[in-house]
Structure 1
Amino acid sequence: MSAPRRPLIAIPARLASTRLPDKPLADIGGEPMIVHVWRRAIEADIGPVVVAVAEAAIADAVRAAGGIAVLTDPAHPSGSDRVHEAVMRHDPDRRHDAVINLQGDLPALEPAAIRAVVAPLATAEVDIATLATVIRHEAELADPNVVKAVIALPPGATIGRALYFSRAPVPAGEGPHWHHIGIYGYRRTALERFVALPPGVLERRERLEQLRALEAGMRIDAGLVDTVPLGVDTPADLARIRQILSDESKR
């Protein structure tokens, strides 16, 4: 199996958010948040971008900006399932051999980070790629909302095999700990296999979807990046990202 030649970026988006209702349509500098994320994906310049939406209102916003939106079943249990349906609808002829699953609440994500998630797929045995960065603050290590990636990373390497993911501060002993960043690159066949799997025992225990793949024997490799992108989950996050992007636009 060779490195993917024609990746496709898919961004799942739905309006149902308990902490920030209608989050994809939240205004940031005069445009919906989902449009900012779509623009970042376009700037990564690794392939076409499709927004996998649960509601027509998000599709309308994306199309008004010139993007491609695919309406999917609102009842999907996860973003991965939504992405899979959108990819099947958009590319039934299977022209694209890899799918980058990009979260729809990362409007300040650097395009370089999107490109970085493709690199681990150059190794033939890798089914799924993801990203991580070093944890620099003790508070993050103890925070269950910060997912830790256990990565077999040789000295000097920037890509390593992910052996586990946890909300607990693992592994024990001296050495760096890695903050998992939930952006994924799937080989097309790996995505199809993943969404067909039943939820795993450890997945349910940790509430981490990626453990389903590891339990099934799929290989995940993680590439290192410098920072954690700011996600928007609360009104406070939204206010912060508005300020950040406003400052960027003035430079």
Structure 2
Amino acid sequence: MNSLIVIPARAGSSRLPRKPLRLIAGRTLLHRTIAMARAAIAGIADAELVVATDDSEIADHANAVGCAAAMTESAIATGSGRALAAALQRPESPRFIVNLQGDSPFQPQGALRAVIAALHSGAEVATPVIALDWSALDALRDHKLRSPFSGTTCARAPDGRALWFSKTIIPAIRDEQALRATQPLSPVWRHVGLYGYTLDALTRFEAASPTALEQLEGLEQLRLLELGIPVTTVAIDPPIFDSSGIDTEADIQRVEALIATHGDPTPT
């Protein structure tokens, strides 16, 4: 096997209990993520999709909508750890493992393909980012007034190497009004919750203890940077829908309103 795409789907969630099974406009969050992933990897040779969960009801639901499921320990604290556990259950170890967060079903399908392409081109870890125009930055600022820990931004070097990730909006922008008058895009990149790893990079990551900064931000990818494992960011086009995760009841209401306005982007 070359690439294994894993959707971690944990039952416990402090902000939105049993989140994978919550309905969004008549379809579960997990079903929407599976459908998006299945469409994204169509035509990619030697790529497989699996849901990694600690809950039999979630596993049964994955099977019911046509996706394999792997049972993993409830004690696993992170999506990356659950992805590695699912990969290690396979009869053949995958070369690449993609951790497709189960609470971001509206991210662009091209993001998954771009991450797989970056891994094939030599990246140890790859993850997508979106350049925010000024209206998108304004919307993100407004969203964070209500859900400050929903949505992640990234500071990156010109070659795409990630410098830092944060739940705050980075970088701070001095003389913002002057920039707004001269360029259509803000300097802020929004991170899309999707990670691809080589098996070695993910194994090294999981063998290390969580770092203090990782725990403060609630962002496991900061451990990679502190370990010195390079993270390659790939720029993708913005989606019609806001690509932040579904973390609260307000997030569900927001995307249901978007579906009512723009139509449902989830493949059937």
Residue 43 of structure 1: CA displacement?
0.5
Query: Contact (CA 8 Å) 1:55, 1:71: kept in 2 or not?
Result: yes
- Aligned-pair identity (%): 38
In the alignment, which residue of structure 1 is the partner of 2:50?
Answer: 50
- The code of the aligned residue for 1:79 comes to G
Residue 57 of structure 1: CA displacement?
0.5
SS in 2 for 1:48: strand
Is 1:70 aligned to residue 70 of structure 2?
yes
* 1:27–1:173 CA distance, 2 compared to 1 (3 A): closer
1:207-234 Cα shifts (integer Å, max 9, x gaps) = 3211111111101010112225142212
SS in 1 for 2:193: strand
Residue 141 of structure 1: CA displacement?
6.1
- The code of the aligned residue for 1:80 comes to S
Is 1:134 aligned to residue 148 of structure 2?
no
2:248 corresponds to which of 227, 231, 234: 234
Is 1:6 aligned to residue 16 of structure 2?
no
Alpha-carbon separation, structure 1, partners of 2:13 and 2:247? 8
Query: Contact (CA 8 Å) 1:108, 1:245: kept in 2 or not?
Result: no
1:107-130 Cα shifts (integer Å, max 9, x gaps) = 223321221222332442x21101
Is 1:148 aligned to residue 153 of structure 2?
yes
Alpha-carbon separation, structure 2, partners of 1:19 and 1:200? 23
Q: Scaled by the length of structure 2, what TM-score is found?
A: 0.79
SS in 1 for 2:119: helix
Query: Contact (CA 8 Å) 1:132, 1:224: kept in 2 or not?
Result: yes
Residue 172 of structure 1: CA displacement?
5.5
* 1:169–1:28 CA distance, 2 compared to 1 (3 A): closer
Alpha-carbon separation, structure 1, partners of 2:245 and 2:170? 23
* 1:141–1:221 CA distance, 2 compared to 1 (3 A): farther
Residue 189 of structure 1: CA displacement?
1.4
Residue 170 of structure 1: CA displacement?
3.6
**What is the Cα-based RMSD across aligned positions, in Å?**
2.4
Residue 134 of structure 1: CA displacement?
1.8
Residue 173 of structure 1: CA displacement?
6.3
Alpha-carbon separation, structure 2, partners of 1:139 and 1:240? 12
1:156-185 Cα shifts (integer Å, max 9, x gaps) = xxxx11122233444456771211222101
Structure 1, unmatched stretches of 5+, are 155-159
Is 1:113 aligned to residue 124 of structure 2?
no
Alpha-carbon separation, structure 2, partners of 1:141 and 1:31? 29
Alpha-carbon separation, structure 2, partners of 1:31 and 1:101? 22
In the alignment, which residue of structure 2 is the partner of 1:21?
Answer: 17
In the alignment, which residue of structure 1 is the partner of 2:182?
Answer: none
Alpha-carbon separation, structure 2, partners of 1:206 and 1:241? 25
SS in 2 for 1:80: helix
- The code of the aligned residue for 2:152 comes to V
1:92-121 Cα shifts (integer Å, max 9, x gaps) = 421x21111111112223321221222332
Query: Contact (CA 8 Å) 1:214, 1:220: kept in 2 or not?
Result: yes
Query: Contact (CA 8 Å) 1:170, 1:177: kept in 2 or not?
Result: yes
* 1:85–1:139 CA distance, 2 compared to 1 (3 A): same
* 1:204–1:233 CA distance, 2 compared to 1 (3 A): closer
* 1:141–1:214 CA distance, 2 compared to 1 (3 A): farther
Matches within 5 A, 1:71-86: 71-86=71-86
Alpha-carbon separation, structure 2, partners of 1:74 and 1:23? 15
Is 1:182 aligned to residue 193 of structure 2?
yes
* 1:87–1:19 CA distance, 2 compared to 1 (3 A): same
Alpha-carbon separation, structure 2, partners of 1:31 and 1:226? 25
Is 1:223 aligned to residue 223 of structure 2?
no
Alpha-carbon separation, structure 2, partners of 1:243 and 1:139? 15
- The code of the aligned residue for 1:153 comes to P
Alpha-carbon separation, structure 1, partners of 2:153 and 2:108? 21
Greater mean alpha carbon deviation, residues 164-173 or residues 5-14: 164-173
In the alignment, which residue of structure 1 is the partner of 2:178?
Answer: none
